[in-house]
Amino acid sequence: MKVSIIMGSLSDSPIADKVVSKLMEFGIDYEVKVISAHRALKSLEKYVKESEDESEVYIGIAGKAAHLSGVIAALTTRPVIGIPAKSSHLGGLEALLSTVEMPSGVPVATVAIGGGENAAILATEILAIKYDSLREKLKDMRIKMKETIDNSEYEYKA
């Protein structure tokens, strides 16, 4: 099982770090590339074509006029998860809209602005359709989440 993470610029690395950290927790193999859809379109096409036999899910991270995830989706029938990055004066809303508003037939599963952790979890859920061991790990994660909430106690500090 393998996830390919592509970011549009090295300035997106804090989000990639969140994705990688979560995938590592689940023991999922990954590859991270910096390839811009605008600045290096041919390289993006080459990478997706060469990696799609092995990569089962793609995660695109991009800000501003964020066409990266959409272009990845155009190049492969593998599932593509898009993470809009907060990288301009518009706070990431422009990236959210340009990632989520895909034409019919070419979907991108878009998570929240900067949502690296959820992107990794969604990728894991997609892979868990095929890999039972991941399903068990996801169930364990949910149990731990519940325990954390159940054990949370508010204390007012003046």
Phi and psi torsions of 41, nearest 5°: -55, -45
- Among 7-15, 21-29, 42-50, 107-115, which window interacts with ligand RP5 (CB under 6 A)? 7-15
- Among 8-16, 69-77, 109-117, 142-150, which window interacts with ligand RP5 (CB under 6 A)? 8-16
Q: Does position 62 bind ligand RP5 by CB under 6 A?
A: yes
Q: Does position 126 bind ligand RP5 by CB under 6 A?
A: no
Residue 103 CB, nearest distance to ligand RP5 (Å)? 20
Report the alpha-carbon distance of residue 9 to residue 37 in Å, rounded: 10
Residue 57 CB, nearest distance to ligand RP5 (Å)? 19
Q: Does position 4 bind ligand RP5 by CB under 6 A?
A: no
Which residues touch 138 (CB under 8 Å, ≥6 apart)?
A: 26, 121, 124, 125, 128
Torsion, Cα 9 12 14 18, to 10 degrees, reads -110
Closer of 40 and 141 to ligand RP5 (Cβ) = 40
Report the alpha-carbon distance of residue 98 to residue 155 in Å, rounded: 42
The vertex-61 CA angle with 18 and 148, nearest 5°, equals: 30
Which of 1, 30, 2, 35 is closest to 17 using CA atoms? 30
Q: Does position 11 bind ligand RP5 by CB under 6 A?
A: yes
Of 5, 6, 23, 63, the residue at the interface with ligand RP5 (CB under 6 A) is 63
- Subset of residues 27 to 56 that bind ligand RP5, contact rule: CB under 6 A: 36
Q: Does position 98 bind ligand RP5 by CB under 6 A?
A: no
Q: Hey, CA dihedral for 117, 122, 127, 130, is it positive or negative?
A: positive
Q: Does position 14 bind ligand RP5 by CB under 6 A?
A: no
Give the footprint of ligand RP5 on this chain (CB under 6 A). 8-9, 11-12, 36, 62-64, 85, 87
